[in-house]
Structure formats: C-alpha cells, structure tokens
Amino acid sequence: MHLTPRAVTGPDPDSGGTSDAGAVAERVHVDWTRCDGRGLCTELLGELLAEDDWGYPVSTTGEVAPAVPRRLQRAARLAVAECPRMALSLRGGDALPQSAG
C-alpha cells in the first residue's frame, strides 16, 4: 500500500516575512499514540529530533515540543507531511510546554 503525503500548508519560510532567522513560530509535536518509531522524522529533521534506544524520536534540545527555527521550517513541514503514521504536527509556538521537567 502506498501512502500519499499530506499537503504541506502555511506560508513558505523562504518567501519573505521577518528577517529574524531565529524566530520561532511553531513547535514539533509527536502524537505518541500514533508513532511507532520508524525514524523518518529523525532523518528529515535531525537537528531537532534524534532516536532514543528504541528508535522513537526525542528532542535534541530537551524540550517536549522542540521549537522550529525559521531555517528549519521547510524541513519540519516535510517531516510532518512524510510521517507514515501521521504522528507529527506543527503547533503554535506558545501552545505547548517547553520542557518535560
């Protein structure tokens, strides 16, 4: 069975807007009820996500939902669109807690 990637929506991060390259508009959220640790997100978004001992994504920054810098927005959208289990999403920067503990 072939899964068609979901459409990537939202403004193109390269189309202009703020000149602040470090601005955070969104955070990567993992739906743990869907994720089965296939690792595609860690390949596409390796600066924000790494694999734990069982292959599941963990934040490289220690945040529960890592902030997506402007320069990684395109990669983050691609990771969300290509996730075979649809376990990744992008959420507003202030919508989630920044650390697990």
Residue 99 in any domain: the answer is no
DSSP strand E in the chain: where? 24-30, 49-51, 57-59, 67-69, 88-92
Contact of 38 with 47, CB cutoff 8 Å? no
Query: 53-68 pLDDT, tens per residue?
Result: 999 999 999 999 999 9
Question: Model pTM?
Answer: 0.69
Which of 49, 43, 88 minimizes the C-alpha distance to 66?
49
* Domain boundaries, position 44: 25-92
pLDDT of residue 35: 98
Instruction: Give the total number of structural domains in the chain.
Output: 1
Helix (H, G, I), strand (E, B) or coil at 69: strand
**What's the CATH number where 78 sits?**
3.30.70.20
